[in-house]
Amino acid sequence: MAVVINTNQSASFAAMNLSKSSDLLQKSLARLSSGSRIANPADDAGGLAVSMKLTAAIKRTDDTATNVSNSLSFLQTQAGSLKSAAAVLDRMSELATLAGDVTKTSNDTANYSTEFNNLYTELGKLSADQFNGIALFSASTGTLTVYLSHDGSQSMTIDQAGLYASVSTMSALSSLTGGSISTVTAAIQSLATLMASNGAQASRLQFALDSLNVNKVNLEAANSRIYDVDVAAETTKLARANILVQSGAAMVSQANAASQIALKLLQ
């Protein structure tokens, strides 16, 4: 090999390898310090695009789960009011039965009627209950739409159960004289239907909420495999790159020193 001064091929080659090793070291440091396998878009452009979509889906799934939880709370609050209404109707049915006793005087019946009328008023108050400003019960067959998937493709409706309408149409219950046993039992049957519907919808929402939570975990796992750095593997790469940088720097120094042999020939 010729001894030259202007071009030091060994030093240039060693410097090139040192530059590559330095880049590898910087990438490992960036990945380990950020915890991300994709420290910049050039690391994995396609993976980054998929990760961005998964991240958005995870956030929407989390928000959807929150909305479903709120809807479930709505139904639970509604169920509480329905239970209270059931207790009221139970007592009203007792009063109607007691008032039918032939041994009761008109004064006795008037005393029963006072409680009966107050309970009817309470039943009307329950029908006006709200949850965060939203009516629990509707004067008509009102429904609310609940979305069950993060993309809005799946939904269900929950009823603003018709207790309000039931109370309004049960005018016979407004006084004890019209509150026959059959009228009260019919009101109880109507309320039982509302409670059954409420329970069925709450059951479905709970299963939907469980499904959303499972989907969120799976989406997070999928995103992690794409975006998160494998610390064990990356630490090994870091150690390798660190050694290469140190040995490369030493070889650049050696290669630069080797060209000085030309000076000896000039002496």
pLDDT in tens, 215-241: 999 999 999 999 888 888 888 888 988
Distances (CA, A) of 172 to 56, 105, 116, 145: 56, 22, 12, 34
Q: Distance (Å, rounded) from C-alpha 189 to C-alpha 171?
A: 16
Residue 64 has pLDDT above 90, yes or no: yes
Across residues 2-10, what is the average pLDDT?
68
pLDDT in tens, 20-44: 888 888 888 888 888 888 888 888 8
Superfamily per CATH, domain 61-204: f41 fragment of flagellin, N-terminal domain (1.20.1330.10)
Residue 11 has pLDDT above 80, yes or no: no
Four-point Cα dihedral 88, 94, 99, 103, nearest 10:
-150
Which stretches within 100-180 are classed as H helix? Answer: 106-126, 163-169
Across residues 150-164, what is the average pLDDT?
83
Residue 213 has pLDDT above 90, yes or no: yes
Return the residue matching tokens 């009228």: 183
Task: Tell which wins on pLDDT, 4 or 8.
Answer: 8
Q: Are 163 and 126 in contact (CB under 8 A)?
A: yes
Task: Tell which wins on pLDDT, 9 or 210.
Answer: 210
pLDDT given for residue 22 in this prediction: 86
Q: Distance (Å, rounded) from C-alpha 230 to C-alpha 102?
A: 85
Q: Where residue 247 falls among pLDDT bands split at 50, 70, 90?
A: confident
Task: Tell which wins on pLDDT, 65 or 129.
Answer: 65
Helix (H), strand (E) counts: the chain: 7, 4
pTM metric for this prediction: 0.77
Distances (CA, A) of 125 to 82, 113, 166, 192: 12, 18, 13, 19
Residue 168 has pLDDT above 60, yes or no: no
Strands (E) in 160-213, as ranges, are none
- Report which of 150, 129, 134, 152 is spatially closest to residue 218, judged by C-alpha positions: 150
Q: Where residue 172 falls among pLDDT bands split at 50, 70, 90?
A: low
pLDDT given for residue 194 in this prediction: 87
Q: Distance (Å, rounded) from C-alpha 149 to C-alpha 65?
A: 9
Q: Where residue 123 falls among pLDDT bands split at 50, 70, 90?
A: confident
Q: Distance (Å, rounded) from C-alpha 166 to C-alpha 136?
A: 14
pLDDT given for residue 141 in this prediction: 61
